[in-house]
A and B are shown apart, each in its own frame.
Chain A
Amino acid sequence: MPHDHSDHPHALLPPEPALRVKALETILTRKGLIDPAALDEIIDTYQNKIGPQNGARVVARAWSDPAFKAALLADADPVLADLGYYGRQGEHMVVVENTPQQHNMVVCTLCSCYPWPLLGIPPGWYKSDAYRARAVREPRKVLADFGVMLPAESAVRVWDSTAEVRYLVLPMRPARTEDMDEAALAALVSRDSMIGTALAHAPQKKSGASG
């Protein structure tokens, strides 16, 4: 964080937990148990390289390519590995498809298990007790909080992630997107739509001359 107060005579002291983490890092490095360069690589990956754009790419491909979608729903791991998306913790990925009859929503009641390779680091609300407890107990109310109103005939299924299995929701493809390519489709796919707390965005109406 850039910090430029010239009235500090010494370096700004980090908060107490930050010093505890630095202490662990020092001890483990001295014992040869960790490689500081590997830590930097992990941080860079999760901060800059992976995020919901990965999942959005997968969703857009599934919307465009029926064979890809069938393979993805049948056994996601090899399909995702082909795209370079695989869990470094050895977890399995399961993709669950939204339909007019069933809306899917993902939670981790244990802690915050999440499909990191596809969505990056989970948002704060996903890790909060409020979401973790309420998603299972009253999913429709949680969806309403997120502004999602489902038709009464649509069931809601909540998938509880574990250390071994992580879920990605395949949202329904919005109407009037038939002529869109994968890149344009991916832009409609938000992070929350792949957790199941939002729907995919409707395409922007073309401005200017149209009937």
Chain B
Amino acid sequence: MTECISHSAPEPAFLEPWHAQVFALTVHLNEAGRFSWADWVERFSTTLRRHGLARDLDGGADYFNAWLETLEAFLVEAGTASPREVELTQRDWEEAYLRTPHGEPVHLAG
């Protein structure tokens, strides 16, 4: 079944909101001159190759997981966002979601 390429149903540009967000973040950083697109492609394709060794990637969620991993590593290397910073901010967001009543917009504290 992995060899079968399904193609019949029309699909939205992004299957999940965070796919769109991580895509936009990367395009924006490139357009702001933080890195060249060739540099991005080289790094991203390296991640995809590494992930693809263990199993066939389906081009869906695993594609954007590889994308996110590449961007995170890139920002760590550039000294822009350390793993610790990301971890703490991620926790802040998680707590914000858990304390915000359902239906209300979620904001970080402070």
Contact = CB atoms under 8 A, between A and B. Distances in A.
Contacts of A20: 68, 72, 86, 90
Contacts of A127: 57, 59-60, 63
A46 B31 CA distance: 15
B68 A21 contact: yes
B30 A89 contact: yes
A67 B57 CA distance: 42
B97 A14 contact: yes
A197 B7 contact: yes
Interface residues of B, number: 68
B28 to A, nearest CB: 5
B56 interface: yes
Given A13-B98, A21-B68, A89-B30, A129 B52 contact: yes
A39 B89 contact: no
A113 B85 CA distance: 31
A42 B102 contact: no
Given A24-B72, A125-B6, A163 B40 contact: yes
Nearest to B2: A130
A155 interface: no
Contact of A22 (B13, B16, B48, B90): B90
Interface stretch (A30-38, A77-85, A176-184, A202-210): A30-38
Interface of A: 1, 5-6, 8-15, 17-28, 31, 33-35, 38-40, 42-43, 46-47, 51, 88-91, 110-113, 120-121, 123-131, 134, 142, 145-146, 162-164, 192, 197
9 contacts: A13-B98, A22-B21, A23-B93, A24-B71, A28-B80, A28-B81, A39-B25, A127-B59, A163-B38
